[in-house]
Chain A
Amino acid sequence: MKRRLAATLVVAGLALGACSPSTSTPASTASNGGPRTGALKVWLFEEPNRAPKDAVVKDAIAEFTAAHPNTSVDVAYIAVDTRSARFKGAFNDPASAPDVVEYGNTDLPEYAEAGGLADLGPVVSGWSEGADLGADAKATATYRNTLLGVPWYLGVRALYYRTDVFTELGLKPPTSEAELTATARTIHAKKPAMVGIAAGGKYTFGALPFIWANGGDITSISSPQSRAGLTAYTDLIKPDICPAPQCADLTGGKTVDLFAAGKAGMAILGNFNRGAVDAGVAKGKYAVVPLPGSTPGSVAPAFAGGNNLGIMKNSKRPALAADFLTLLASKKYQAKMYDAMGNLPTLNSARSDVATKDPFLKPFLDTIKAGTKFVPLNPGWGKIDAQAVLPTMIQKVATGKATVDQATDEAAKQISAALTS
C-alpha cells in the first residue's frame, strides 16, 4: 500500500516536471509605446529615515499626475537587504513587475545579465537635461555599451564624529588608521555606554576602505595587504571598542541608527545618511572628516556608491515610465532630494550648485578627489553580495570563529568561483 503510494507520488512528480517556467520576451527599449494612462508602479529603496524622501517623491508624483491626466503612481519602498530576491522575482513575473526602479550601481551587471532592465539610451538622448549628465556618471550605469539606468545620486562615506564628545575628552579627529583605533578605544573606555566607533560585522562598505587603504582588493582578498586591512577593521569589533555581541551583526543601516541615537563616538557614514543622523539626538553635535588611510595624513579610498533609476524590460507602460523617470532625475528633483536626504546630485550643474552653498559636502568631495574604488564590474559581484561572502568573512574573524588567514582563504575561494562562473 505504502509502496504504491510512493510510486504514485514519483509518477505525479515526473509528470509535473514537464512544465518548466516560461521565459518572457519583452519590448526592446523603453521609449516605444505602451498606454499613456493608468497606474505606474515604482520601486524605491527603503531608507533609515524615509519621511523626507517620501515627501520629495510625493511632490514629483503630484507634478507628474497633473501633467499626465488619468495616471497614478504607486510607490513601494523595498528593503535593501532583500532587494536581490525581489528583483529576481520581478524579472521572472512580468505581471507583478514594477515600471520604474531604483537600484544600486553595484547591482547593475547582475541585472543586466539577467536581461531585466530596458535600454535607456534613446530616453536619455531625447531628454533635455540628459547632456548635463557627466560621462563618468553615465559610465557607472553602462554595461557592455548599453545605458541601463540614469544615475540618480552619488554617495561616498566618510568619518562622522561627535564634536561634543571629542571636546569633552580632549580628542582630535584621527588622521591615520592607528589614531582612529586609539581614539575609538579612548571613547569607549571613558564612556562605556558608547561604542568607540560603530563598526558593523555586516557593513561591507565600511570595511572595504580599510582593505583598499592597505593596498588590498576584493579580487585579491587573501593577499597580505587585504589581510592587513581586514585585521585593521576587525580590530575595531573588539570588547574595548565595539563589543562583538553588540556589533558583529550590525549592518550599515544599523550603524547609522547607532550614531544617530548618540550611542557611538564615531561612524563611517555616507553623505546620504545626514538626514537620518539629523533626525536623532546626534543632530548638531557632529562633524565629518575623510576616513583616514593607513599612512598618516592619507585618505582611505571610499567606495563610489550611487543609485540609478531604471525601467524594467517587463514594463507595460515604458513611455510613461520614461516620463516619470526623467522628472525624478531632473535638476529640480535632484536638488530637492539633496536638501531632503543629502544625496549628491549626478547632474553636473546641480552638483556644483549644492557644493558652493553647503560646506558640509567638503569632506565628501575631498574623499572623491583623493580617489574612489568600485566593486568588480561583473555579474558575479551580485552573487558575492547575495551570498554574504564578505560579511561572513568579517563576522568569522570578529567572533573568533576563524583566523584572518582562514577567513580570507575561504572568501577568496568563493569570490573566484563567483567571478569566473
Chain B
Amino acid sequence: MAVGVDLVFRQAQVSGGQPTRFVGADNYTRLFDDPQFWSVLVATVLFAAACVLATLAVGAGLAVLLTRASRWPRLALSLAAMAAWAVPAISGSTVWMFLFDTDLGLVNQVLGLDGYNWTYDRYTAFALVGAVVVWHSFPFVMVTLYAGIEAIPKSTLEAAAIDGASTWRTFWRIMVPILRPLLAIVVIQSIIWDFKVFTQIYVMTAGGGIAGQNLTLNVWAYQQAFAASEYGLGSAIGVVMMLILLVVTLLYLRTLKRSGEPL
C-alpha cells in the first residue's frame, strides 16, 4: 500500500532502466474522468453491500440455529461450515463454476436448464458470484456469533423467558445488544473482505464478465496495473479503495460509540 502511495504520482517502467517521472495528480484526474471508474465503483459498492447483508443474515441465522440444534445436527452443520471456510477461494470458485457450467453443469441438468449461461446476464452473474462469496465468508460470522451467544449468561435469557419474551424479541433485545462489540468486528471484517473481492470475480466471470459487466474495483485495478502496465493508475484505484474502506470503518465505529457502547 505504501509503495502504492509512492507509485500513483509516477509513471512506472518495467525494468526498462528508465527512471520514473513525476506526473502529479494525473493518475487521479484520469481516474475520476473515466466514466468506467464510476460505474465500476457503484457496482462494487452495491455488490459488497449485498454480500455483507447476506453474509450477516446467513451467519447470524445459522449461529442461532447452532445454539438450538441437538448434538449431531450441530456437529454436521459445524463441519460443513468449516469445510466451506477451509476451501481456498480459487478452488471453491472453480468447483462452483463446474456446478453451474452452461452445458455440463449439475445445476442445469437437475433444473432442466440445459444451455443456460449463468454468467451471460449481468445480475445473475453477480448473484452467482455473490452466493460463492457468502458461502466462503459466512462460517466466520457464524462461529464468532455462536461463541458470543454461548457466552451470554443463561440467567439473563432465563429472566427474559420468564418475563414472556418471544424468541424474536429475545434475539433483538437481549442477544444483539450484548453481542454488539462482536457484531462490530464481523461487520467491519465483512465489509473489508467483500469490498475487496477478487478471486471469485476473476475466476467465475473470466476476469470481469462479458464486456466488463462484472468488474469490481479490485479486478479492474489488477487489469490496469498488471495486464495493461498502467501501474500508476492501478495504484490510484487501490488508494481510492483504501480511503473508502477507511471512511466506512471510521463512520461505523463512530456510530457505535454514539449509541453508547464502549468497544
Q: Are A and B bound to each other?
A: yes
Whether A116 pairs with B14 at a CB distance below 8 angstroms is yes
B120 at the interface (CB under 8 A from A): yes
Whether B210 pairs with A387 at a CB distance below 8 angstroms is no
Whether A201 pairs with B210 at a CB distance below 8 angstroms is yes
List the B residue with the shortest CB-CB distance to A94: B15
Whether B212 pairs with A14 at a CB distance below 8 angstroms is no
A183 at the interface (CB under 8 A from B): no
A274 to B115, CA, bound (A): 27
Q: Of B13, B120, B210, B227, which contacts A84 at CB under 8 A?
A: B227
User: Chain A CB within 10 Å — which of B2, B102, B223, B246 has the most?
Assistant: B2
Chain A residues near B229 (CB-CB < 8 A) = 88, 110, 114, 382-383, 386
Whether A244 pairs with B120 at a CB distance below 8 angstroms is yes
A396 at the interface (CB under 8 A from B): yes
A321 to B194, CA, bound (A): 45
Chain A residues near B117 (CB-CB < 8 A) = 245-246, 249
List the B residue with the shortest CB-CB distance to A388: B212
Q: Mark B217-249, 1 if CB is under 8 A from A, else 0.
A: 000000110111110000000000000001000
Q: Mark A184-223, 1 if CB is under 8 A from B, else 0.
A: 0000000000000000010000000000000000000000
Distance to closest chain B CB from A162 (angstroms) = 19
Whether A2 pairs with B3 at a CB distance below 8 angstroms is no
Whether A115 pairs with B2 at a CB distance below 8 angstroms is no
B5 at the interface (CB under 8 A from A): yes
A21 to B6, CA, bound (A): 10
Q: Would A115 and B17 be within 8 Å (CB), given that A84-B227, A395-B210 are in contact?
A: yes
Chain B residues near A17 (CB-CB < 8 A) = 2-3, 5-6
Chain B residues near A85 (CB-CB < 8 A) = 226-227
List the B residue with the shortest CB-CB distance to A394: B211
Chain A residues near B226 (CB-CB < 8 A) = 84-85, 88-89
A309 to B16, CA, bound (A): 20
A338 at the interface (CB under 8 A from B): no
A113 at the interface (CB under 8 A from B): yes
Distance to closest chain A CB from B15 (angstroms) = 5
Q: Mark A97-125, 1 if CB is under 8 A from B, else 0.
A: 00000000000001001111000000000
Distance to closest chain B CB from A338 (angstroms) = 32
Distance to closest chain B CB from A151 (angstroms) = 24
Q: Would A13 and B5 be within 8 Å (CB), given that A113-B16, A201-B210, A246-B102 are in contact?
A: yes
Chain A residues near B207 (CB-CB < 8 A) = 81
Whether B211 pairs with A23 at a CB distance below 8 angstroms is no
Q: Mark B1-28, 1 if CB is under 8 A from A, else 0.
A: 1110110000011111100100000000
A298 at the interface (CB under 8 A from B): no
Chain A residues near B16 (CB-CB < 8 A) = 23, 113-115
Q: Would A249 and B206 be within 8 Å (CB), given that A14-B5, A84-B227 are in contact?
A: yes
Within A155-201, the residues touching B (CB, 8 Å) are 201
A19 at the interface (CB under 8 A from B): yes
Q: Would A249 and B210 be within 8 Å (CB), given that A386-B223, A386-B228 are in contact?
A: yes
Residues of B within 8 A of A (CB-CB), count:
34
A2 to B12, CA, bound (A): 34
Distance to closest chain A CB from B74 (angstroms) = 38
B190 at the interface (CB under 8 A from A): no
Q: Mark B74-114, 1 if CB is under 8 A from A, else 0.
A: 00000000000000000000000000001000000000000
Q: Mark A3-30, 1 if CB is under 8 A from B, else 0.
A: 0001000001111111111011100000
Whether B15 pairs with A115 at a CB distance below 8 angstroms is yes
Whether A386 pairs with B227 at a CB distance below 8 angstroms is yes
A92 at the interface (CB under 8 A from B): yes
B147 at the interface (CB under 8 A from A): no
A333 at the interface (CB under 8 A from B): no
A348 to B227, CA, bound (A): 35
Q: Mark A391-403, 1 if CB is under 8 A from B, else 0.
A: 1100110010100
Q: Would A116 and B223 be within 8 Å (CB), given that A12-B2, A14-B2 are in contact?
A: no
A6 to B20, CA, bound (A): 29
List the B residue with the shortest CB-CB distance to A85: B226
Distance to closest chain B CB from A376 (angstroms) = 16
A248 at the interface (CB under 8 A from B): yes
Distance to closest chain A CB from B43 (angstroms) = 14
Q: Would A383 and B228 be within 8 Å (CB), given that A114-B15, A249-B210 are in contact?
A: yes
Q: Would A6 and B2 be within 8 Å (CB), given that A85-B227, A115-B16, A248-B120 are in contact?
A: no
B46 at the interface (CB under 8 A from A): no
A18 to B5, CA, bound (A): 10
A318 to B230, CA, bound (A): 30
Within A255-299, the residues touching B (CB, 8 Å) are none
A401 to B214, CA, bound (A): 14
Distance to closest chain B CB from A181 (angstroms) = 22
Whether A16 pairs with B14 at a CB distance below 8 angstroms is no
Chain B residues near A18 (CB-CB < 8 A) = 6
Distance to closest chain B CB from A243 (angstroms) = 9
Distance to closest chain B CB from A296 (angstroms) = 33
Whether A387 pairs with B227 at a CB distance below 8 angstroms is yes
Chain A residues near B246 (CB-CB < 8 A) = 6
B253 at the interface (CB under 8 A from A): yes
B250 at the interface (CB under 8 A from A): yes
Chain B residues near A13 (CB-CB < 8 A) = 1-2, 5
List the A residue with the shortest CB-CB distance to B11: A421
Chain A residues near B228 (CB-CB < 8 A) = 84, 382-383, 386-387
A17 to B1, CA, bound (A): 8
Q: Of A16, A386, A392, which contacts B3 at CB under 8 A?
A: A16
List the B residue with the shortest CB-CB distance to A25: B17
Cross-chain pairs A/B with CB under 8 angstroms, 30 sampled: A6-B250, A13-B1, A13-B2, A15-B2, A16-B3, A17-B5, A18-B6, A19-B3, A20-B3, A20-B20, A21-B3, A23-B16, A23-B17, A24-B15, A81-B207, A92-B14, A92-B15, A114-B15, A115-B15, A115-B16, A201-B210, A245-B102, A248-B210, A383-B229, A386-B223, A387-B227, A392-B211, A392-B212, A396-B211, A399-B210
Give me the interface of A with B, judged by CB distance under 8 Å: 2, 6, 12-21, 23-25, 81, 84-85, 88-89, 91-92, 110, 113-116, 201, 244-246, 248-249, 382-383, 386-388, 391-392, 395-396, 399, 401
For the complex of A and B, list the 6 residue pairs with the smallest distance between their C-beta atoms, beginning with the closest. A16-B2, A386-B227, A395-B211, A115-B16, A245-B120, A17-B6
